Amino acid sequence: MRILITGGAGFVGSHLGDRFLSEGHRVVAMDNLITGNINNISHHAGNTNFEFIHHDVSNYIYVPGEIDAVLHFASPASPIDYLKYPIQTLKVGAMGTHNALGLALAKKAKFVLASTSEIYGDPLVHPQVETYAGNVDPIGPRGVYDEAKRYAEALVMAYHRTHGLDTRIVRIFNTYGPRMRLDDGRVVPNFIGQALRGEPLTVYGDGKQTRCFQYVTDLVEGIYRLLNTDFHEPVNIGTTQELTMVEFADAVNEVSGNTAGIIYKEDLRIKGDPQTRRPDNTRAKQVLGWEPVVPLSDGLKFTIEYFRKVL
């Protein structure tokens, strides 16, 4: 297949490109590089099966030749990014998704939308199942990302129902691994950066808020399987190992060998930040035969090794 990945120089997009290339497919990575990094794909220089197009998908997308699948992964994804680029985030979720869907329709290609667990907002149902409609504040600071993804899901289903487009929706839960940016504001690079500098890890509030952290290769495997099914409803992809921020900080310190411990600071989380987050993976197990396989200790080891080189 020849596959277009929007956001192809980003954290997840670049790992997807690696996977499809390793399976013998051709990859076209498209990115405007406002949060992506050309270094994430530089190892493909000279590979005749790989192309890079510097382009903002919020504008009309033109790609010559056949395209068999469009994977729409272009969007700021961390709070620090979508608060810095709120309008761009809304545009890529709305106009970017529309343009990517239009290209897929013109090329008669499969389509995969990268959605997010953030569409559940600060959930009142736990764990979160795909049929739960969420608890989202549309005008809060996080709304620019949450509502962009919710709109994108609605648009994808409209194209599927109206035009018969062969679509997929993956709802991505917290994912970590190499190629995350140290300055992207998320807890994994924050904790690892502090640990590698020998500093105490900063936990905000009481540290009882929870997340589930999956290693990026597990996510990529789930997306790869989803593309190869005929399932069109949203599918959660994430681990169910739920950790408090204190437990996660302890795990990072243990794997990194950091002895500086933890410090607690005033809760500075953004309004609407979920207190709990854990996917119900029943649909992924039934439809994809998928479960995460990388233990947290191994994933943290791989990620810490990457950040040692970055630092």
User: What's the pLDDT at 267?
Assistant: 75
Is pLDDT of 141 > 70?
yes
User: What's the pLDDT at 269?
Assistant: 66
Catalytic residues: 145
User: What's the pLDDT at 270?
Assistant: 67
Q: How confident is the model at residue 17 (pLDDT cuts 50, 70, 90)?
A: very high
Task: Encode pLDDT of 164-179 as tens digits.
Answer: 999 999 999 999 999 9
User: What's the pLDDT at 184?
Assistant: 87
Q: How confident is the model at residue 126 (pLDDT cuts 50, 70, 90)?
A: very high
Task: Encode pLDDT of 254-311 as tens digits.
Answer: 999 999 999 999 876 666 678 899 999 999 999 999 999 999 999 999 999 999 998 8
User: What's the pLDDT at 272?
Assistant: 67
What are the structure tokens assigned to 214, written together? 């999956």
The overall average pLDDT reported for the chain is 96
User: What's the pLDDT at 53?
Assistant: 98
Per-domain residue ranges of the chain: 2-176+215-238+278-294, 187-209+242-277+298-310
Q: pTM to 2 decimals? A: 0.96
User: What's the pLDDT at 183?
Assistant: 86
For residues 183 and 15, the model is more confident at: 15
Is pLDDT of 219 > 70?
yes
Task: Encode pLDDT of 54-103 as tens digits.
Answer: 999 999 999 999 999 999 999 999 999 999 999 999 999 999 999 999 99
d(CA 275, CA 211): 9
Contact call for residues 30 and 6 (beta carbons, < 8 A): yes
d(CA 181, CA 310): 9
CATH for 2-176+215-238+278-294, among 3.40.50.720, 2.30.36.70, 3.40.630.30, 3.30.200.20? 3.40.50.720
d(CA 146, CA 164): 26
* Cβ atoms within 10 Å, residue 276: 18
d(CA 206, CA 245): 9
CATH for 187-209+242-277+298-310, among 3.30.360.10, 3.90.25.10, 3.90.960.10, 1.10.3660.10? 3.90.25.10
User: What's the pLDDT at 185?
Assistant: 87
4 φ, ψ to 5°?
Answer: -95, 125
235 φ, ψ to 5°?
Answer: -130, 125
3-state SS, the chain, equals CEEEEECCCCHHHHHHHHHHHHCCCEEEEEECCCCCCHHHCHHHCCCCCEEEEECCCCCCCCCCCCCCEEEECCCCCCHHHHHHCHHHHHHHHHHHHHHHHHHHHHHCCEEEEEEEHHHHECCCCCCECCCCCCECCCCCCCHHHHHHHHHHHHHHHHHHHHHCCCEEEEEECCEECCCCCCCCCCHHHHHHHHHHCCCCEEEECCCCCEEECEEHHHHHHHHHHHHCCCCCCEEEECCCCEEEHHHHHHHHHHHHCCCCCEEEECCCCCCCCCCCCCECCHHHHHHHCCCCCCCHHHHHHHHHHHHHHHC
Place of tokens 């270094």: 39
Q: How confident is the model at residue 15 (pLDDT cuts 50, 70, 90)?
A: very high
